[in-house]
């Protein structure tokens, strides 16, 4: 039940009856009443003055008196200058609670017929996933769930960057130093194994650069002429030429990485409807570049490289093919976008990629537009800020980045330590405890990252995220478990007990108002591509429950009708909390 729409309809009826004119819907303006005034919904009077022929106060008074007289749901009204503040009766909010509590998936929209593709994760196959990937994956998953809640059909896709100089570097280092070693032999995840050889390549490369500098090369010359880099570049050419031993090694090492990625995705609760591979899409991009070259959209330089001139758009020239004919990221992104819009009738394509790639996606859309693809306007770059940690905390094995698997393990371990310190787990089986620790650890990680607006750079503190009393996932999880405990102790939700005569107090009305705006929050968050709005809504709802529980008795309430209403109210809170957190990919425990 939307109170603003309800009042707009009553205003329309009042204007029609009082002033013998049917007002245009555009001039019927309502908003939630500001806190310093008494009321629930405020109608703006100024646009109606030409119709009424009276001053704002007179018009507001006439409309208020008419609506109160003819609308039993309105308890009182007041006029402040050009604003009419209307207050609903407690019975109206009780009926609203009844509607919410009996609705299936309250807040979720009906099917829109709109199809949206969301690309996220997009890892390179030369290293394991890290903290930045965690924010990417959690944003991509929650954005997908959010759009589904808005009634859209969502296709979740991953693009694996499985080719290019980066994987050739890992392959070359493995050939030089592995002696046939495999992840199974060493006993490590495949993505970590391959990542170690990427680090090994950089060690070799830096050593060779220093040796060249000692022999008289400049820094720039040494970086270009290092033998190991030239070997990697040649390996990339041989891969694109289809040289058998290079391709077979590439397949083997990528298979190790995929197995490792799958374990991390499973831990995060992330899955994809389809996975694309750059190795299969870059050729499509090269065909588009060839087509653009023939049509004069692109141009070739003397060294054979192909470029797109964007200077007339205030940008620079963009490389599309290197002089040796190998492609760049932009090339494959052109091909992938073309393939996806050919495969699916997409209304929107969202790329979840960090803000360091803002320029890349600006160029991608411009080039596609130059090629004549109008659907380029349907591409949206969900640009997000980086994640930083307090200095010195949780360094990875390489000492440079925070590994995703290490972070997940640390979060679960921290949840275990914190929960055991708090006690209250004596009656739980060990398996149930471990399931709870995982739920709390991942809930803390996901919530702490998702509660921040995607566009902002964020500081992630693992210890702060696990706090049971702040704006955290565990606080909301504990709130849900507490409500479920109350309901279990009550024995039932007092089914069949009439609550129609119950008079709600102001705190209960406040909570029902908050429950009532959940559909609006889902719509707003979907429009803004911001799961943070849902996260902070869930925290506000959990906080309101805890205040209510502290101030009012529920199980010990002696009035059976009031007790029944309160049980229905808190059960509805639990359901809405579960729905909100489900959008974020966070599970809520039944008990803690």
Q: What is the mean pLDDT of residues 419-442?
A: 87
Q: What is residue 492's predicted lDDT score, i.e. its pLDDT? A: 60
Two tokens at 404? 């995703």
Q: What is residue 497's predicted lDDT score, i.e. its pLDDT? A: 63
Answer for the pair 356, 393: CB distance below 8 angstroms, yes or no: no
User: What long-range pairs does 502-509 form, CB within 8 A, spacing at least 24?
Assistant: 502/94, 502/561, 502/562, 502/565, 503/90, 504/90, 504/93, 504/94, 504/565, 505/552, 507/547, 507/548, 507/551, 507/552, 508/93, 508/548, 508/565, 508/566, 508/569, 509/90, 509/93
Two tokens at 398? 């390489």
Mind listing the pLDDT tens digit for each residue in 209-263?
A: 999 999 999 999 999 999 999 999 999 999 989 999 999 999 999 999 999 999 9
Two tokens at 60? 């507001």
Q: What is the mean pLDDT of residues 490-504?
A: 74
H-run or E-run covering 250: helix 244-268
Q: Does position 40 have pLDDT exceeding 50, yes or no?
A: yes
Q: Does position 53 have pLDDT exceeding 70, yes or no?
A: yes
Is beta strand 274-277 parallel, antiparallel or unpaired with respect to 299-300?
Answer: unpaired
Is beta strand 387-388 parallel, antiparallel or unpaired with respect to 379-384?
Answer: unpaired
Q: What is residue 394's predicted lDDT score, i.e. its pLDDT? A: 37
Answer for the pair 41, 33: CB distance below 8 angstroms, yes or no: yes
Q: What is the mean pLDDT of residues 320-334?
A: 89
E-assigned strands of 412-464? 458-459
Identify any residues that bridge with 88 across adjacent strands, giving them in sequence order.
74
Instruction: Give the least confident one: 90-104, 424-438, 503-517.
Output: 424-438
CA distance linking residue 390 with residue 233, whole number of Å: 37
Domains of the chain: 3-88 (3.30.1360.70), 163-272 (no CATH), 275-384 (3.40.50.620), 404-583 (1.10.730.10)
Q: Does position 314 have pLDDT exceeding 90, yes or no?
A: yes
Q: What is the mean pLDDT of residues 342-359?
A: 96
Q: What is the mean pLDDT of residues 5-34?
A: 95
Q: Does position 395 have pLDDT exceeding 80, yes or no?
A: no
Share of residues in the chain with pLDDT > 90 (%): 84
E-assigned strands of 224-342? 274-277, 299-300, 306-309, 317-321
Angle ∠(105,110,115) on CA atoms, nearest 5: 120
Which is more confidently placed, 443 or 425? Answer: 443
Q: What is the mean pLDDT of residues 540-544?
A: 98
- pLDDT band with cut points at 50, 70 and 90 for residue 396: very low
Answer for the pair 249, 171: CB distance below 8 angstroms, yes or no: yes
* pTM, entire model: 0.90
Q: What is the mean pLDDT of residues 43-64?
A: 96
Q: What is residue 390's predicted lDDT score, i.e. its pLDDT? A: 72
Indicate the average pLDDT of the chain: 93
- pLDDT band with cut points at 50, 70 and 90 for residue 428: confident
Q: What is residue 325's predicted lDDT score, i.e. its pLDDT? A: 84
Q: What is the mean pLDDT of residues 467-484?
A: 92
Cβ-based neighbour number of residue 503 at 10 Å: 12
Q: What is residue 425's predicted lDDT score, i.e. its pLDDT? A: 77
Q: Does position 398 have pLDDT exceeding 50, yes or no?
A: no
Cα–Cα distance list, 167 to 279, 284, 580 (Å): 12, 20, 40
Two tokens at 277? 């591979």
Q: Does position 392 have pLDDT exceeding 90, yes or no?
A: no
């Amino acid at each position: 039940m939307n109170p603003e729409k309800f009042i707009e309809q009553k205003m329309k009826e009042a204007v029609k009856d009082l002033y013998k004119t049917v007002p245009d819907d555009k001039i019927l303006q309502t908003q939630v009443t500001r806190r310093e005034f008494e009321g629930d919904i405020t109608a703006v009077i100024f646009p109606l003055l030409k119709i009424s022929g009276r001053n704002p106060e007179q018009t507001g008074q006439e409309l208020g008196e008419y609506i109160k007289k003819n609308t039993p749901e309105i308890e009182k009204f007041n006029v402040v200058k050009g604003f009419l503040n209307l207050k609903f009766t407690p019975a109206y909010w009780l009926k609203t609670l009844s509607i919410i509590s009996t609705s299936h998936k309250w807040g979720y929209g009906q099917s829109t017929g709109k199809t949206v593709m969301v690309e996220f994760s997009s890892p390179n196959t030369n290293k394991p996933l890290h903290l930045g990937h965690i924010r990417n994956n959690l944003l991509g998953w929650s954005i997908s769930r959010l759009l589904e809640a808005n009634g859209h059909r969502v296709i979740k896709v991953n693009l694996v960057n499985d080719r290019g100089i980066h994987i050739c570097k890992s392959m070359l280092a493995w050939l030089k130093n592995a002696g046939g070693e495999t992840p199974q032999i060493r006993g490590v995840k495949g993505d970590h194994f391959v990542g170690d050889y990427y680090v090994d390549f950089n060690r070799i490369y830096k050593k060779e650069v220093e040796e060249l500098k000692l022999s008289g090369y400049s820094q720039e010359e040494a970086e270009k002429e290092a033998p190991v880099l030239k070997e990697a570049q040649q390996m990339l050419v041989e891969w694109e030429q289809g040289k058998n031993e290079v391709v077979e090694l590439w397949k083997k090492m990528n298979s190790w990485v995929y197995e490792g990625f799958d374990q991390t995705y499973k831990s995060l609760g992330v899955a994809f409807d389809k996975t694309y591979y750059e190795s299969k899409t870059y050729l499509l991009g090269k065909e588009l570049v060839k087509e653009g070259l023939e049509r004069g959209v692109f141009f070739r330089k003397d060294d054979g490289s192909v470029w797109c001139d964007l200077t007339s758009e205030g940008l620079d020239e963009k490389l599309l093919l290197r002089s040796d004919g190998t492609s760049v990221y932009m090339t494959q992104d052109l091909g992938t976008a073309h393939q996806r819009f050919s495969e699916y009738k997409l209304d929107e394509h969202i790329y979840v990629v960090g803000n360091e790639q803002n320029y890349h996606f600006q160029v991608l859309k411009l080039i596609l537009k130059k090629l004549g693809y109008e659907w380029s306007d349907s591409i949206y770059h969900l640009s997000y800020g980086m994640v930083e940690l307090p200095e010195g905390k949780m360094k990875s094995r390489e000492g440079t980045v925070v590994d995703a698997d290490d972070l997940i393990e640390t979060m679960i371990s921290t949840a275990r330590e914190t929960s055991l310190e708090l006690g209250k787990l004596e009656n739980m089986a060990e398996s149930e405890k471990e399931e709870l620790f995982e739920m709390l650890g991942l809930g803390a990680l996901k919530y702490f990252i998702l509660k921040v607006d995607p566009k902002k750079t964020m500081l992630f503190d693992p210890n702060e995220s696990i706090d049971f009393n702040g704006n955290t996932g565990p606080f909301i999880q504990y709130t849900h478990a507490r409500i479920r405990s109350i309901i279990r102790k009550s024995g039932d939700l007092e089914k069949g007990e009439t609550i129609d005569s119950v008079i709600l107090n102001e705190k209960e009305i406040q909570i029902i108002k908050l429950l009532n705006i959940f559909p609006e929050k889902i719509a707003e968050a979907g429009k803004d591509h911001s799961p943070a709005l849902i996260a902070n809504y869930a925290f506000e709802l959990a906080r309101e429950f805890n205040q209510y529980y502290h101030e009012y008795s529920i199980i010990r309430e002696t009035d059976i009708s009031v007790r029944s209403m309160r049980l229905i109210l808190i059960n509805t809170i639990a359901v809405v909390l579960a729905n909100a957190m489900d959008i974020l990919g966070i599970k809520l425990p039944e008990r803690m």
